[in-house]
Structure 1
Amino acid sequence: MDRRWWLAALLLIGWIVNAHVPAGAAPAEGEGSRVSFRVEVQREVTPDRMRVRMRATAEAEQPARVQNEINARMQAARRVLESSEGITVGTGQYRIHPVYRKERIIGWRGSQDLLLESGDFARLAEVMGRLQAQGLAVQEVSYLISEPLRRRIESDLVDEAVAAFRARARQLATDFGARRHTVIEASVSTGGHAPPVRPLLRAQALEAADAVPPVLAPGTRRLSASVSGSIRLAY
C-alpha cells in the first residue's frame, strides 16, 4: 500500500470518531474547575468549671515531725470540706525529702497537694479562704468547660460552619459564573483555646488573719468549628 492510501484511511477513522462526539457535549465526569476553601465560626464561652490545686507544706529537723504536720493540716482541710457540698476533692503528690547544706542533712521538708474542682465559683472561693487559714497555700487555679457544655456548643458551631460552607460554595459558583457546583470533599473539625493556668497567690501558707478569699475571674474561652473542602464547578 502506498502512502496516499494510509493517509486516506487515517482521515476516515478521524471522521468516524468525531461523528460520535456531538458539538457542545458536557465534559466527562470528574472534569471542570475545582475550588478548595475553608470556613470557620467561633464563639466566646465562659468556663463553667474551676480547678484549684492547694498545698500543705512543713519543715522540721525530723521527717516524722514533717509528716505529722502535713497530716494534721490535711485532716483539718478534710473537716472543712466535709461541710462543703458540690466540690470534688482529690489528693495529689505526697513528698518528703531532706534539706542539705554543704552535703549535710540539716532538716526535712515535705508537702502534699489537695485538688479541688467545682462549678460553684463562689463556694469554692470561700472554701479556699478557709483552707488558707488552715495553713494551705494556693498553687494554681485553672478554668475549664465541662463536657456537656462543650458538646452542646460544638454541635451548634458545627451546624453554623456547615451552613457557612454551603453559602460560600454557592457564592463562589456565582462569582466564577458556573451553572452549578458539586461538593466533592469536606472535613469538619472543632477546637478551642484554653486560658492559661493562673497562679493566684504566693506558694506559702497565710496566717489566719490574712486568709481572705481570692478574687476569681474565669474570663472566656474561644471554641470554634471549621469546614474544609472542595467543590467542582460546571460551566
Structure 2
Amino acid sequence: MTNEKFSGVVTIFVVLLVGMMAGACTSVHAQQTLLPEGQTLITLSVTERMNVEQDLVIASLRIEAEDSNASVVQNRINSVMARGLEQAREANEVSQSTGYYNVYQYDRQPQGGRAETLWRGSQSLTLEAKDAQALLALAGELQAMGFVMNQLSYQLSTERADEVRDSLMESAIARATEKAERATRALGKSRFDIAVLDVDTSSDYSAPVMMRSMADTGSREMAPPNAEPGETEVTLNVRIQAVAQ
C-alpha cells in the first residue's frame, strides 16, 4: 500500500473515530439533560427470598427387556407398559406419560465363549402428583410388575412458585419504595416519583433427585419407595428508577 493510500485510510479512520466520540458525548449530554434542573434520578434494586416446601413428587420408571429375537423384546415391553398404564390410570391423583422407547442390537462376548447377538430395549414411564402417598404406592405396584426406578424426586410446582412470587413482589416493592424514600431524604429532596418498575421473576425451581428405594425385579412383594420433600428457595428481584425533587 502506498503512503498516499495509507494516509487516506488513516484520515478516514480518524474522521470516523471523532464522529463516534462526538455521538457518544451527544448521547451522554442528552441523557444528562433529560431531567429538569433540581431533579435527581435514583436507581436501585432489592431481592426478596423465601424457602418453600416442595409440593410436587415425580417418579420416572422404565421397563427393560433382552432377547435374541427383536419381536420378543418389543412384545415384552409393549405388554408390560400396557399393564402399567392401565394400573396408573386407576390412580386419579397421579398423572402419567410415556417417554423414550428404544430397541437396539448388540454383541455380547461371554468369557471364553462365542459372541452372541442380542436385542435390548426399554421404555420409560413418568408419574407426577401432589399426593405423594398415592404416587409412591403406585410406583411400588409398577416395580412389582418389573419396572425399574430411574429417579424419584420432589420439586416446587409452578402454581406454588407463582403464588409465592406474588407475595414476594408486594414486599419487594414496599422495600424498594422505602429505600427510594431514604435516598431522597439523604439527597435533601422533599419528594420522589417512581418512573420505572422492573420485576424479574426468572428462577430455576428444579430440585435435586432424592432416591430412597430401588427396584428389585426378583421379588413379587414390592414395598413402595419412600421420599421426603425438601425446600426450594424462591427469589424475586425488583429494580426501580425514581425521580427525586
TM range (shorter): 0.7 to 0.9
Higher strand share: 1
| Distance of 1:178 and 1:73 partners within structure 2 | 74
Contiguous gaps of at least 5 residues in structure 2: 1-34, 110-114
One of 100, 117, 121 as aligned partner of 1:93? 100
| Distance of 1:139 and 1:199 partners within structure 2 | 11
Aligned to 1:25: none
Q: Is the 8 A contact 1:191 1:223 kept in 2?
A: no
Question: 1:133-179 CA deviation, whole Å, 9 max, x = no partner?
Answer: 11101112343433433332222211111111111111222233322
Compared CA separation, residues 213 and 203, structure 1 to 2 (3 A): closer
Aligned to 1:223: 234
Contiguous gaps of at least 5 residues in structure 1: 1-27
SS of the counterpart of 2:54? coil
Q: Is the 8 A contact 1:137 1:202 kept in 2?
A: no
| Distance of 1:195 and 1:31 partners within structure 2 | 48
One of 71, 78, 95 as aligned partner of 2:85? 78
| Number of residue equivalences | 206
Higher alpha-carbon Rg: 1
SS of the counterpart of 2:227? coil
Runs of 4+ displaced beyond 6 Å:
201-204
1:59-138 maps to which residues of 2 (within 5 A)?
Answer: 59-101=66-108, 106-138=117-149
Does 129-138 or 82-91 show the bigger shift?
Answer: 82-91
Which amino acid letter does the alignment assign opposite residue 90 of structure 1?
S
| Distance of 1:32 and 1:66 partners within structure 2 | 76
SS of the counterpart of 1:198? coil
CA RMSD in angstroms comes to 2.5
TM-score (norm 1): 0.77
Does 199-208 or 68-77 show the bigger shift?
Answer: 199-208
Q: Does 1:159 align with 2:166?
A: no
Tell me how far 1:181 sits from its aligned partner: 2.2
| Distance of 2:90 and 2:83 partners within structure 1 | 12
| Distance of 1:121 and 1:90 partners within structure 2 | 17
Tell me how far 1:44 sits from its aligned partner: 1.6
Tell me how far 1:61 sits from its aligned partner: 0.9
SS of the counterpart of 2:203? strand
Tell me how far 1:199 sits from its aligned partner: 5.8
Tell me how far 1:96 sits from its aligned partner: 0.6
Q: Is the 8 A contact 1:154 1:223 kept in 2?
A: yes
One of 224, 234, 237 as aligned partner of 1:213? 224
| Distance of 2:77 and 2:37 partners within structure 1 | 72
